[in-house]
Structures are given as structure tokens and as C-alpha cells.
Amino acid sequence: MIQVYGIKNCNKIRDTLQWLKEHEIEHTFYDLKKEPLTREELEEFVHRIGLDVLVNKRGMKWRQLGLKDQDLDDSQLFDQLLEHQTMMKRPVLINDEAILVGYDEEAFESFVE
């Protein structure tokens, strides 16, 4: 079963969930606003795919926090992401050991096979 992490009111999440539904793919959705990742869960995500892939540096939260002009090391960036999980690129899909980040229908097709 596919696990989908994101924010319910995000257009990319809505599109992802619709795509999964249309393709009859079993999935579970985790709303990061209601069910934030624990430190350990986020550490696992970062270990598997890296902070650069996971952090959305073009998103609204990144700009609101003024992080563009700060020279954050990985530890500081991780702490920001842990506190502000809406800064994560969306969607994050997990299928067993595989992780896919971002909305890409072609990638979804190969990911769910």
C-alpha cells in the first residue's frame, strides 16, 4: 500500500490522491498538519532521500521564514523542517522501501508497479 504524506489543502496533494483513486491504487494519506512526522520519522526520510530533495526552497513557508538569506547548516535546516513540515516538497510517496517526492504522473506509473 502506498503512503502519501502532505497537506490536505495542497493542490498537488489533491491531484495525487485523485490520480491514485482513478488508477485504483490503495493508499493511506497522512496530513502533516494533523499528524506531523516525529523526529525519528523525519530523520528516516532525510537519511533515505536527503534534505535537498525534501525541502521546498521555492515554497511559501520557506519565503515566510526568510530562510533564503540565512546560511543554515544541515542540522539547522533539519530543525526548521521538523518545526515547519509544510516546508516539505509534496507529495512524498512511500512504497515499501522506495520514496518518490513531487508530483509527476509518469513517475507515479512506474512507482506503483
- 2, 4, 7, 10: the catalytic one is 10
- Pull the grid cell for residue 96: 515499501
- Is 91 among the catalytic positions? no
CATH level 2 (architecture), domain 2-112: 3-Layer(aba) Sandwich (3.40)
User: 16-36 burial, b for 16+ CB within 10 Å, e for fewer?
Assistant: bbebbeeeebebebbebeeeb
Q: Which is nearest to 53 in space by CA: 113, 93, 83, 8?
A: 93
For 43-65, what is each residue's pLDDT tens digit?
A: 999 999 999 999 999 999 999 99
pTM exceeds 0.85: yes
Domain boundaries, the chain: 2-112
- Cβ within 8 Å of residue 98, ≥6 positions away: 111
